[in-house]
Every structure is written in C-alpha cells, then in structure tokens.
Amino acid sequence: MGVVAFVRTASEPDEPPPIFSRGALAWMRANLFSSVTSSVFTLLFLALGLYLLPPLIEWATVKAVWTAPDGALCRLHQDGACWAFIARKIDYLSYGSYPESDYWRVILVEVLGAALIVWLLWPGAPGKRFGAWGFFLVYPIVSFVLLVGAPSLDLPHVDTLMWGGIFVSLVTALVGIVVSLPLGVLLALGRRSDLPAVRLASVIFIEFVRGVPFITVLFMANNMLPLFLPPGWEVDRFARPLVGIALFSAAYMAEEVRGGLQTLSRGQYEGAMALGLDYSHMMRLVVLPQALTLVIPGIVNNFIGLFKDTTLVAIVGVNDFLATMDNAFKDAVWSGPSLLATGYAFAAAFYFVFCYAMSSYSAGVEKRLAVGRRR
Amino acid sequence: MARSIVNDPRVRGLFYQVLLVVALAALFAFGWRNAVVNMEARGIPLGFSFWNEIAGFDINLSLIDYSALSTYGRAFWVGLLNTLLVAGISIVLATPLGFAVGVARLSPNWILSRLALGYVELMRNTPLLLQLLFWYNAVLKALPGPRQSLDAFGLVLLNNRGLYLPRPVFADGAWTILVAGGVGLVASVVFARWAKQRQDATGEQAPVGLVAAALILLPAVLAYFLAGRPVGFNYAALAGFNLRGGLQIFPEFAALVFGLVTYTAGFIAEIVRAGVLAVSHGQIEAASALGLKRGQSMKLIVVPQAMRLIIPPLTSQYLNIVKNSSLAVFIGYPDLVLIFAGTVLNQTHAAVQVMAITMGVYLAISLIIAAALNLFNARMALKER
C-alpha cells in the first residue's frame, strides 16, 4: 500500500474557540447583551452608574474632611463628608457618658460576648455545651457586675443614665438574644404541648405579642410596668425596655422554633418514647438538638430583626447608638449641611456590617444543612 | 397505689395545668391590685370617662373634622384613620415595587440582577428607623424653603414643607363623570365574563384589557366634556413666604410612606424571588415546548403557581407595614401611636386604658388582614382532584 492522497497524515492545528462562546466576551454576551432589552438596560445602568458613582465616591473620600477641631472646615467643604465629626464624637457614640476611666469594662464585656458568640456559632467548635452555659448564665451575670459596678469589687457604680451609644445597642440586643432564646423554646414547646391550658396560654401570649407593634410593647413596658408593681418598687429606666424587648423577641423566637419542631418527623418522638425517655429527656436529648439545628438560619434572621429593632428603644429615653448620633447632631460647634448625611452614612455602615455578617452566616448554615439533607 | 397516681400522665398533666392557671391568675391579680392602688395614689382615672373629654390639642393632618375642641375619642379616630391611610398607601405602592425588584433579581442581565441584590441587601440590613430618619431629616428637611421650591413645570412643587400636587376641584356635574365611569366598569366586567366563556368554549382570546380601558375611559371623557368640564385643578403658588393652594403632602407623611415602601419592597422582592424559583423548571420547559414566549410563560404558568407560595409571607409583610407605620412617632406623623398612645396618654395619664385600646386596635387589624388573605389563599390553593 502506498500513500493514499486523500487521507491526512498529520492533523490540522486546533482552531481557536469562537470568541463568543468562551471568555469575557462570551460572558458579556450572555449576561449583559443577551437581547435588545437587556442591552438597553445594561447601557442605561452603565450610564447611570458613571453619572452617580464618581460624585458619591468623591463625597466619601477625596472631598471629605478627615480631621478638624470643629465644624468650620466641614462647613467650608459642603460637598464632602465630614468624617472629622465622627472621629471627634466616636467616644460618645461608642460609650455615651460612661466614665472614660471605665471604658475597659465595656470593652471587656463586648470582647467576652463576641468570643462566646463566635464559640457558639462556629461549626464544630469544641465544648459548645460549656459555651452555652457560659453565654446564657455566666456571661449575663459577669456583664451586669462589670457594667453596673460593684463597690465590693472596687468597681465604682455607673448609673444606667450614663450609658449610651453603640454599647447600649449591643447590650440591648444581647439581652434580647440571651432571654428570648430559652423563653422562646419554652413557649414553642408550650404551644405544641398536649395540655390545653399550657397550649392556650402560649398561643395567646405569642399571637398577642406578634400582633402589636414593638413600639407599643416598649410603651407598655415603660408606662405600665411601674403601675403593675407594688408602690415603692422602682424599675430602672433602662431595664424596662429590656423587659419589653425580651418578651417581644421571645414570641418571634417561639414561632421560629415551632417551625423546627414541626418539620421533625413523628418517628423521632415515637422512637424516643419507645426508648422509655420521659418528656424532658425526649426534648433535651432527641427533639430539641435536631429541631434547633434546623432553625439556626431562622433564629439568626430573627436576631437581625432584633438588632435593627433595638433602634426603637430611643422612644422611651434610652440613649442607644442612633439616639447618641441624634444628640451629637445637636452640637452647635459642628452644625453644617454635610453633617446629617455623614452621620447617617456612618450609622448605616455600622448596622449593615453587623446585619450583613449575620445574614451571610445564616445563608452559609442554610447551605450546609441543605447539603446534609440532600439525598 | 400512691405511686401509680403520681406517675399517671393524665394526673400529672392536670396538676401542671392547674399549677400554671393558678400561677397566671395570681400574677394577674397581683398586677391588677397594684395597678388599682398605684392609679388611685397617682390620681389616674380608672375608667374610660376621658374618652368624651375635650382633647385641647391640634392635629395637622386629619381625614375627619377635628379641632382642639374635639374629644379624645375623636382624636383616637383621627389617629386610627391616619395609620390606615399611611399603611394602605404603603401596601399599594410596596407590592409592585417589591415584585419588580424580585423579578429583576432573576433577570438574565447581570447588572440588573446585581443592582436588585444590592438594593435588597441595603434595605434588609439597615434599620427602618435609620432609613426613615435619613429620608426625613437628611433629605426632605434639607430641601430648600418655599421661595426656592424645586419645580416640575409648575405642576408639582417640592420644598422643605412638603410636596405640592395639583388639587382637583369638582364643580357641579362632576358626578356625571363618576356615573359614566361606573357604567363603563360594569360593562367591562360583563364583557370580561363573556370573553372568558367564549375562550373556554372556542379557545379564541379577546383583548379584554384594551376593551375594558376603552369602555371605562371613553364614557368618562365624554361625560367630562358634555357636562361642561366640571373638574379643574388648583395649583400651588407662592403667596408671601409660603405656598398656597394645591394638594400639600406633608414631609412627615412623604418620608414615612417612602421609607415604608422602599424598606418593605426589599423583603417582598426576596419573597417573590423565592416563590418564582420554587416553581419547578419542568413547568417552564413545558411552557416553552407548547410555544409560549418567556413573558407568556411567566404570566400564565409561573406566576399563578408562585403566587401560592408568595401569598402567606406577603401577608405577614403587609402586617409588618401596618405595625411599622407606628414608627411615625419618631418623625412626627400623627398616627394612632403618636396621637393616642403619645399625646392622649400623656395628657390623661390613663396608661392602662390607652395602651389596651391601642394594642387592641393593632391586634384587630392584624387578625382582619390575616383572615382576609387566608380566605384568598384558600381560593388560590392547589385544587387536588
């Protein structure tokens, strides 16, 4: 056999892939210019972005006033943010009127709380049982002693009237979390109970609280709590809204937990009963560990709502972060046209960082749970 | 035998329930007793007699006749109507915005879906109060004064005292327009029924929307001209240091509505997105196999199925709007909480009565909305055969 003229002996070099099926151009064609409408939108938003974004970034960076002793410079540079104001007021925004020499107490409480929360939320962290006891029992007592003060421990007393700023927002949210989770679990169990009186009491409480605005709960805690206690009993002005926020978020938490209890199959209950476990063992060892794991994303989403709701405590005279910001605005030394936008942008960034972190965590957990349950 | 009684679950259950009931009753009795003692000691009225007393304060926005000489009871109704007004308008506006953002989240266009995502994240991760304060203090209150109003063709004016729209002025004979429009509405309902029957029988479709628009608008426009143009508009204009005339929308109202709408739309968008994504992909593929276009398959196949999943959480967003409208208190919009649980409570000191009424109203609104949407939901639910 000789060489056959029409059979190739060597293959041709590879053609490059068509430019519209791989790489950046293909991505743009699929995601930005897939149709006429899509292209119009893309161009419209690009133009809008080019028009709006540069001034906004300039406002926050190049044209902003970063350091100044008072508002004169900010009034001069009206088209830029007045970050100097935030820098000057940051102590007040963080601690309110808490004595400066005692800031370490607040910082210690915040660091402890952060450490415990990370411990509890970190998937697979060791010794979570101790972490939970620490967070729900030891931590509140330690924080209370540290923040309020105990003369016997050489910690001077700091009245809650002096409290304010970011730390009050965090304390409010933490009290809400620490109280509402156990209480919410109890209420959820009560609502699912076989005992009609327990069920009725839980349903009435949950539906009542969920049916009214948080502000009215705060008003009630502030105006009516003193009326319901015997004459002479004084409730601290800061403690009243805390009672309100704890009860309020407990009702929402209860509904979240109830969802978890309902998704659990009946077989889990029956299996536990067949093993001879009584109610409390069944709940503690079989049902709740599974149900609570299922609803972690929902619980964290509830915390986000709770954290955002802490801003409302200002209405009953608590000096939370937003309230201190409002007070800081009133400082005549700083008054200027760029002040409000700066302050609100800073506050928004603060809340956004916290809430976004929580929602990312909850989305992550949701994804992980979905992997475990996928078949 | 004693052991078996202790271990009998029914006896135990009864025991716990009796314990709970006694404990709750004791708690209530304790609270009630203290409240009566405390209220008498402080001279707070125990009954509802304050309801018919003269309020003595003014309210700048009222849908019914109200003056400082009206009673506290009248003030309550003003507050309630203002709450319902702001909540109703916010619900009507937030729904389409939320649906639009939710659909934009699913758009194949990368920029559009990212923008929608950014919007949703920003709205959901910052407190509503912060947003309201921003719109009210940093945007609306920072607008120029009446003399330098922002002006859109002289029709719409915007300054730090509010938004001024043309106010329709009805002269004699304006009712004919309403009657003509009403007749058109009835006619278009009849036409829609006939079109549906014909489509069921023959499969032929009729342009129901176009016909209905024509049936309502044409008679109304005709009546407007025949009756000698009885509707005019009154425009706001500068008079001295302030604007006169027109329909003034107070900045408090505008900020509250705007804040509630943009905030809640972020939540509605996520609900819509989840609902649409939950519709099985086979449905969309089957729709395209039948030759339906993307828009058609959305409208006829996907959305009706998604609505079943969307409606329950949408209901709770509507309830949230009603409840969140109480944040009015922070920016001074005279809603139920500001007027009644605020001013009236401070003037009468009848904290228990006022709070009970206020919370009762919100509870009732919640229950009514929940019941209405449950009814609707039952009609939309999957009909299993």
- Which pLDDT tens digit goes with each residue over A161-176? 888 889 999 999 999 9
CB A271 within 8 A of CB A286: yes
Query: Per the CB < 8 Å rule, is A213 touching B330?
Result: no
Q: Report how far apart, in Å, the C-alpha atoms of A280 and of each of A200, B58, B243 are.
A: 20, 58, 70
Q: Chain A contacts of B326, Cβ < 8 Å?
A: 213-216
Q: Using CB atoms within 10 A of its CB, is residue B36 exposed (0-12), middle (13-18) or buried (19+)? A: middle
> Does A375 have pLDDT greater than 60?
no
Residues of A in contact with B367 (CB under 8 A): 211
The shortest CB-CB distance from B138 to any of A46, A212, A341 is to: A341
Give the relative orientation of helices A166-191 and A103-121 as an angle to the nearest 10 degrees: 40
Query: Which of A29-38, A49-58, A121-130, B201-210 is modeled with the greatest confidence?
Result: A49-58
Angle at B89 between CA B86 and CA B93, to 5 degrees: 135
Which of A228, A322, A341 faces B34 most closely, judged by CB atoms? A228
Express each pLDDT in B217-272 by its tens digit: 888 888 888 877 777 777 777 777 777 777 888 889 999 999 999 999 999 999 99
User: Which residue's entry shows tokens 């196999």?
Assistant: B289
Spatial separation of the C-alpha atoms in residues B253 and B86, rounded to whole Å: 7
ipTM exceeds 0.85: yes
pLDDT of A372 higher than 70? no
**Among candidates A187, A189, A292, which has minimal Cα distance to A249?**
A187
Q: Sort out which chain A residues have CB atoms less than 8 A from B24's CB and list them.
A: 201
Mapped onto helix, strand or coil, the DSSP state of residue B143 is coil
pLDDT for the residue numbered B23: 93
Paired tokens of A164? 């304010």
Of A304, A360, A343, A353, nearest to A71 (Cα)? Answer: A343
pTM over 0.90: no
Q: How far is B370 from chain A (nearest CA, A)?
A: 10
Condensed to tens digits (0 to 9), the pLDDT of residues B173-205 reads 778 888 888 898 999 999 999 988 888 888 787
Q: What is the mean pLDDT of residues A185-198?
A: 90
Structure tokens at A327: 């007070």
Residue A44 structure tokens: 């419209």
**Chain A residues near residue B337 by CB distance under 8 angstroms:** 213, 215-216, 219
What is the residue-averaged pLDDT of chain A?
Answer: 86
Look at A211 and B362 and tell me if their CB atoms are within 8 Å.
yes
Q: Are B34 and A195 within 8 A, CB to CB?
A: no
Is some CB atom of chain B closer than 8 A to the CB atom of A43?
no
For the segment B35-61, the average pLDDT, to the nearest whole number, is 82
**B49-102 pLDDT per residue, tens:** 888 888 888 888 888 888 888 888 888 999 999 999 999 999 999 999 999 999
The token pair at A123 is 């998937």
Distance of alpha carbon B212 from alpha carbon B199, whole angstroms: 17
Per-residue pLDDT tens over the stretch A308-330: 999 999 988 888 999 999 889 88
Place of tokens 């016909």: B211
Do A299 and A255 touch, CB atoms closer than 8 A? no
Q: Do residue B122 and residue A352 have CB atoms under 8 angstroms apart?
A: yes
The whole-angstrom separation of Cα B357 and Cα A325 is 33
Contact assessment for residue A369 and residue A294, using Cβ atoms and an 8 Å cutoff: yes
Backbone angles phi, psi at A35, to 5 degrees: -150, 175
User: Any chain B CB within 8 A of the CB of A366?
Assistant: no
Among A82-91, A196-205, B63-72, whose mean pLDDT is lowest? Answer: B63-72
Residue with tokens 């940051």: A90
Contact call for B111 and A231, based on CB within 8 A: no
Dmax (CA) of chain B = 96
CA distance A123 to chain B (A): 23
Q: Under 8 Å CB-to-CB from B140, ≥6 apart: which residues?
A: B160, B251, B254, B255
Shortest CA distance from B136: residue in chain A: A340
Nearest chain B alpha carbon to A304? B125
Please compute the mean of the pLDDT values over residues B262-284 and round it to a whole number: 91
User: CA-CA distances (angstroms) from residue A330 to A61, B167, B331?
Assistant: 24, 37, 16
Answer yes or no: is pLDDT of A344 > 90: yes
pLDDT at position B1 over 50:
no
Q: Residue B322: enclosing H or E segment and its boundaries?
A: helix B303-324
Is residue A2 predicted with pLDDT exceeding 70? no
Class of domain A99-373: mainly alpha
User: Residue A143 gets which letter from DSSP?
Assistant: H
* CA pseudo-torsion sign A302, A308, A314, A318: positive
**A and B: number of Cβ contacts within 8 A:** 154
Q: Mean pLDDT over residues A89-98, rounded?
A: 87
Look up residue B188 and give its two tokens: 């278009």
Of A15-24, A125-134, A136-145, where does the model show the most confidence? Answer: A136-145
**Minimal CA–CA distance to A249: which of A199, A196, A313, A194?**
A313
Contact between A348 and B134 using a beta-carbon 8 Å cutoff: yes
pLDDT class of A103 with cuts at 50, 70, 90: confident
Contact yes or no for B129/A310 (Cβ under 8 A)? no
Quote the tokens at residue B207: 């342009």
Instruction: Report pLDDT digits (tens) over A276-317.
Output: 898 888 988 888 888 888 888 888 889 999 999 999 999 888
| SS3 track for B11-49 | HHHHHHHHHHHHHHHHHHHHHHHHHHHHHHHCCCCCCCH
The yes-or-no verdict on residue A128 having pLDDT over 90 is: no
Chain B positions touching A227 (Cβ under 8 A) are 34-35, 38-39, 351-352
Testing the interface with B: which of A215, A325, A338, A358 to mutate, by most B Cβ within 10 A?
A215
Q: pLDDT confidence of A374, banded at 50, 70, 90? A: low
Task: Indicate if the pLDDT at residue B148 is higher than 90.
Answer: no
